Structure 1
Amino acid sequence: MPGYTTAEIHNLALLGHAGAGKTLLAEALLHAAGAIPAMGSIERGTTVCDFEPEEQAHGHSLSPAVASCDWKGRHVNLVDTPGYPDFLPRAYAVLPAVETAVVVVDAERGIELGTRRAMEKAAELALPRVLVVNRIDQAGPEALAALVEALREAFGREVLPINLPARDGGVVDCFFSPGGEAAFHSVEAAHTEIVDQVVEMDEDLMALYLEQGEVRPEQLHEPFEAALREGHLIPLLFTSAATGAGIRELLDAIVELFPNPLEGNPRPFRRGAAPFHASHDPDDHVLAHVFRVTTDPFVGRLGIFRIHQGTVRPDSQLYVDDGRKPFRVGHLLRIQGKTQTEVDAGIPGDLCALAKIEELHYNAVLHDAPEDGGVCMVPVALPEPMQGLAVEPAKKGDDEKLTRALAALAAEDPSFRYERSPSTHETIIRGIGELHLRVILERMRSRHHLEVETRPPRIAYRETVRAAAEGHHRHKKQTGGAGQFGEVFLRIEPLERGAGFEFVNQVVGGAIPSQFIPAVEKGVRQAMEEGALAGYPIQDVRVIVHDGKHHPVDSKEVAFVTAGKKAFLDAFAKARPVLLEPLVEVEVTAPEAHVGDITGNLSGRRGRIQGTESLPGGLVVVRAEAPLAEMADYASWLKSATGGHGSYTMSFSRYEPAPPEVQKAVVAERRAAETA
């Protein structure tokens, strides 16, 4: 068993904007606690948490990394997360594994997009939030004082410092034993503010405080935890990972003030429609969830998981989700960046890993009781990947290799998708942004030794008709032996948008024998799949077969398939065919100053503005509909236009007839491709 209990574990995620110093802060914490002999360097690629080749090449975290240390008899698990907007879903995906969200703010740059998003996501998940202002050696007292006020303005008056920068470059305590002189603000006033805020959680303690004028620090522990859980308090601490200022004080706060697994707000599981919380009992049956999957070149798939109840040991028999066949735990691992150490047990609240279990995937539930096969972790809502690329192997014969690589990459990245489009016959990968997809392609090359060619994906247009029309075809083929004969008369009619396809048999008198009617429908469906205007599937039509002829000897299924297909094409050409383009609903969130640019740009993309809504913090939501074909480069445009402070979501709305000029261009492109 580990040398600590569940009550002695503290799990926290380091969140915040890219470049705020999260990775070096993790290094400083690990070094101060004695977990590593010296701090690594981002420039030299020697940090514990940025160990992947792509991270070292880009100089930024691209994936969450787990590390741990021990401090004053407590075990601290740190999850360092990426801050680039393209990789925020990867950061959010780890939050169900921790009790505390530590949002790191750069002292010079102040509140950035990643700061706001991290605070909003943690609040959405009811996670206790802590703000850490890092790099205080790079900002003067006036700038730090202004930043504190800006943080309180942005995130509420419940943001209160529990320490303050000192004039000598260190920090002074405002909570446990206030004393010393801060570079700005009164230490005594800061102490009074935070105690006033905490005692509001306990009426008896508040009465005692009002009577005595002070309470002992140990009396504040439980109300402090309650204030954190309920968002009544957002502690603010100051550090410098470079000089070490405030690092030991942050470790003290983690083990003395931050919630352990028994004190935090647990993420719910669900059995059917009923939510429930894990027991945290080490003797209960095992319940754990996988929050991170990586592909290691030496051990294969590696799944990092949080144990919520029960004890996992080597030789344990575990199930994945509703799988009926258990697997045996061979090696139970603790993760320190890229280093893996075997442990003899994992208890509730701990973060462990398993290797070489191919069934593991993000958000998988691990358990040791078959009756828990229907249990799932309530998922974190993550942004949908919008940026798309069509990919194909650069080398012929690598299609299977591409499929394996994409499956491995999707297993470890909850914000990456891939699909095979049946209408455009392309393999399409989707990510959060351009950088996200570029990193995916880099990993495809470095890990899977696969080169691919890319291009923008084709738009999944559709075809339909705007009028009713008659069609006819006689198929007659005479060879040396038995011939082929089938004749079909049919009518096509337009249906409401989204209605799909209807096939109606109105043949009477056996003009087409009943055994050949399915062959006629098969021919019609073939024509609809292949398209007749620009090669895109046909939808929203009713086909009525009402007459035909057959031959007692030469009529065969193949003859009526051909006759049905060509009769349909004959009718389609007369029924005022039209190209349908997909429309998407777009919701853009950005600072108010950019609203004019956003609405103007969407209008220029043939978009229709549906409305706007003001949000707290000077943000505005713009809702619009626009053709998907016009949105290919929207992510890049929005990032450039708003300086990275804008975000958007996009979802399919419906199909509508394309304007004549668009239809003409698409049809011409198709015909040019056919003759090339």
Structure 2
Amino acid sequence: MDPMEGNGQEFERKMEEGLEAVEVTSDASKPIVAHVFKVTADPFIGKLGVFRIFQGTVKKESQLHIGDEKKTFKVGHLLSLQGKEHTEVDAGIPGDICAVAKIDEIRFDAVLRDKIDGGDVRLQPMNFPKPMNGFAIEAKSRGDEQKIGKALTSMEAEDPCFSVERNGTTHETVIYGLGDMHLRVILKKMKNRYNVEVDTHPPKIAYRETITGNAEGHHRHKKQTGGAGQFGEVFLRISPVERGGGFEFANNLFGGSIPRQYVPAVEKGIRLVMEHGAIAGYPLQDIKVSVYDGKHHPVDSKEVAFVMASKKAFIDAIHKAKPVILEPVVHMDIIVPEGNMGDIAGDLSSKRGRLQGSDTLPGGMLHISAQAPLAELGQYQSQLKAVTAGQGSYTMQLSHYEPVPPNVQQQIIDQYKPKAEEDS
């Protein structure tokens, strides 16, 4: 049987001017072309890269390139796979399923070659479902963080429908898969292979804070404890900048009201508030801060005093500047049977979502474009399956941030109050 038979995909080469087809034949005498279709971690032999040989002969001691990398790896032990059995062989020819172990650089979907002749050769891209369902995870046992990191890296290398995100805003590690069952299977593998267990919970929403008005803030930091004291006073103005404008700091001091060496401390205090928030504990964005006056003491003024003074002055101004909480809004592409259009529209409306359009697809299916707040979509996958009898699917990606409704903002602020009191 021709080893190329039944292969619906073709190889292509990425060139500067675009993609070009690459002819690959089942000739064992030609240069090697093999495709890595699976990467797994074997508890006994380590990382295992499983590949199908399309052209050429892979032997022990063969020097192979991964993709277009100039560096090669040497095939030490060549394994032939039949089910769960690993048998060491001397060579593999077109049509054979083989594997190499303990090659850290090997990756899923890579093309292995013994000669690089310009351009990155690859199979035409495969379309995998995008992982949408997410859990936030944390180690059950303190000290397991490093083991968890290694386990997640291994799982991500094995499964193209699994991804890991370390959210810098919420400081959570979030894993994404195709559903609860998919993620539970991965967590079970982690426990069995790496002896690590994790607690899971819904991911936090990466809200932001900003202001909608202009305001001034002032704070005098004065502390006397018997020895050297602390003194710093800061006056500042704040104003909103256009969405996406980030943070602007302006030094409008004059006359030495705050000595030059303390200006970085003033900016540091402001940046600390930008990072940690002022009304609900979320990062601030799109604000211009202008420091225009202050006072210092020749003995008691020091860096920490101006950090504290600018923090409190900035928070004072934010509370006067009509602050709002911004929430992430995602664009959704939803595929459902045509008969479910009304159910989907009603459900999205209940989630503060907005329909943007729909298109008819073959087979009685419908493509719906919509936008909705991410905070409302925590259980959307299971809800969509229930409404469509398992026939519906969706993908989403971040579209923009917009202010939450006033009642939602108050709920978020109320949830933050205990921490605010603790920090004050």
* TM norm. shorter chain > 0.5: yes
Q: 1:290 aligns with which of 36, 39, 50?
A: 36
Whether the aligned pair in 1 keeps the contact of 2:37 and 2:108 (CA below 8 Å) is yes
Is residue 2:243 matched to residue 1:491?
Answer: no
Shift of residue 314 of structure 1?
0.8
1:353 is aligned to: 99
Q: How many residues align?
A: 420
Output one character per residue of 1:144-199: Cα deviation in whole Å (capped at 9) or x when no partner.
xxxxxxxxxxxxxxxxxxxxxxxxxxxxxxxxxxxxxxxxxxxxxxxxxxxxxxxx
Could you tell me which runs of 5 or more consecutive residues in structure 1 were left unpaired when the two chains were aligned: 1-6, 13-98, 100-126, 128-264
Shift of residue 524 of structure 1?
1.1
Output one character per residue of 1:338-377: Cα deviation in whole Å (capped at 9) or x when no partner.
1122232234554321112222221234344577696665
2:2 is aligned to: 8
Matches within 5 A, 1:535-614: 535-614=281-360
Q: Distance in 2 between matches of 1:289 and 1:640?
A: 38
2:168 is aligned to: 422
Output one character per residue of 1:520-575: Cα deviation in whole Å (capped at 9) or x when no partner.
22211111111111111111211122222334454433332222222211111111
TM-score normalized by structure 1? 0.58
Matches within 5 A, 1:256-655: 266-271=10-15, 274-280=18-24, 282=28, 285-321=31-67, 325-348=71-94, 350-369=96-115, 379-478=125-224, 482-655=228-401
Provide closer, same or farther for how the CA distance between residues 487 and 397 of structure 1 changes in structure 2, counting only shifts above 3 A.
same
Whether the aligned pair in 2 keeps the contact of 1:271 and 1:375 (CA below 8 Å) is no
Q: Distance in 2 between matches of 1:453 and 1:618?
A: 41
Shift of residue 667 of structure 1?
1.5
AA at the equivalent of 2:196: L
Q: Distance in 1 between matches of 2:228 and 2:419?
A: 38
CA RMSD of aligned residues (A): 2.5
Q: Distance in 2 between matches of 1:318 and 1:331?
A: 13
Matches within 5 A, 1:161-240: none
Output one character per residue of 1:201-246: Cα deviation in whole Å (capped at 9) or x when no partner.
xxxxxxxxxxxxxxxxxxxxxxxxxxxxxxxxxxxxxxxxxxxxxx
Whether the aligned pair in 2 keeps the contact of 1:270 and 1:378 (CA below 8 Å) is no
Q: Distance in 2 between matches of 1:366 and 1:288?
A: 5
AA at the equivalent of 1:313: K
Q: Distance in 1 between matches of 2:378 and 2:372?
A: 11
Q: Distance in 2 between matches of 1:344 and 1:642?
A: 52
Whether the aligned pair in 2 keeps the contact of 1:477 and 1:483 (CA below 8 Å) is yes
Higher relative contact order by CA 8 Å / sep ≥ 6: 1 or 2?
Answer: 2
Provide closer, same or farther for how the CA distance between residues 510 and 321 of structure 1 changes in structure 2, counting only shifts above 3 A.
farther
Q: Distance in 2 between matches of 1:526 and 1:370?
A: 50
Provide closer, same or farther for how the CA distance between residues 567 and 619 of structure 1 changes in structure 2, counting only shifts above 3 A.
same
Provide closer, same or farther for how the CA distance between residues 303 and 552 of structure 1 changes in structure 2, counting only shifts above 3 A.
same
Whether the aligned pair in 1 keeps the contact of 2:68 and 2:120 (CA below 8 Å) is yes
Could you tell me which runs of 5 or more consecutive residues in structure 2 were left unpaired when the two chains were aligned: none
TM-score normalized by structure 2? 0.90
Whether the aligned pair in 2 keeps the contact of 1:279 and 1:308 (CA below 8 Å) is no
Q: Distance in 2 between matches of 1:351 and 1:274?
A: 31
Whether the aligned pair in 1 keeps the contact of 2:14 and 2:119 (CA below 8 Å) is no
User: Does the residue aligned with 1:617 lie in a helix, a strand or coil?
Assistant: helix
User: Does the residue aligned with 2:258 lie in a helix, a strand or coil?
Assistant: coil
Deviates further, 333-342 or 643-652: 333-342
Q: Distance in 1 between matches of 2:304 and 2:318?
A: 21
Whether the aligned pair in 2 keeps the contact of 1:278 and 1:308 (CA below 8 Å) is no
AA at the equivalent of 1:354: V
Structure number with the higher strand fraction is 2
Shift of residue 329 of structure 1?
0.8
